[in-house]
């Protein structure tokens, strides 16, 4: 992992709108062509209408025509001293929109990094094969 991906996620975290949780998160996706797409968590007083940084980055990417095969790694940053993994909703979305063997780098407050494969985050993900045809 190159440091520019972490720096992009940290910069995205600065744009988080966290009026209620005060828990900013930044995410960054590196694409095959080297571009980086970022996202931050955006909250709303009606909590169910909030969006996490990971999904913000992925939805921005997909809105631009980027697809799973284009994403080569991902970084998620928080201000915690521990490593924070994506929430369940993000893990479910990531299981479909990010390849299973893509590295997901969790970055804590000190800059330490823990790397997991996307498939490790949600090993029994619900997927399209579960749906009736």
Positions marked catalytic: 54
Residue 91, number of CB atoms within 10 A of its CB: 19
Place of tokens 């990094």: 113
Q: CA-CA distance, 106 to 78, in Å (whole number)? A: 8
CA 130-122-46 angle, to 5 degrees, is 90
Burial of 26 (0-12, 13-18, 19+ CB in 10 A): buried
The Cβ-side half-sphere exposure at 130, using a 13 Å CA radius, reads 5
The answer to whether the CB of 34 falls within 8 A of the CB of 2 is no
The Cβ-side half-sphere exposure at 53, using a 13 Å CA radius, reads 31
């Amino acid at each position: 992992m190159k440091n520019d991906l972490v720096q992009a996620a940290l910069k995205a975290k600065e744009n988080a709108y966290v009026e209620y949780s005060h828990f900013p998160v930044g995410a960054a996706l590196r694409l095959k062509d080297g571009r980086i797409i970022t996202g931050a968590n955006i909250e709303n007083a009606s909590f169910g209408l909030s969006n996490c940084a990971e999904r913000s980055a992925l939805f921005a990417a997909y809105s631009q025509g980027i697809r799973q095969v284009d994403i080569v790694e991902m970084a998620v940053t928080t201000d915690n001293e521990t490593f924070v993994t994506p929430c369940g909703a993000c893990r479910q979305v990531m299981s479909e929109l990010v390849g299973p063997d893509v590295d997901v780098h969790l970055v804590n407050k000190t800059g330490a990094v823990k790397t997991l494969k996307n498939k490790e985050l949600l090993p029994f993900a619900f997927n399209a094969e579960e749906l009736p045809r």
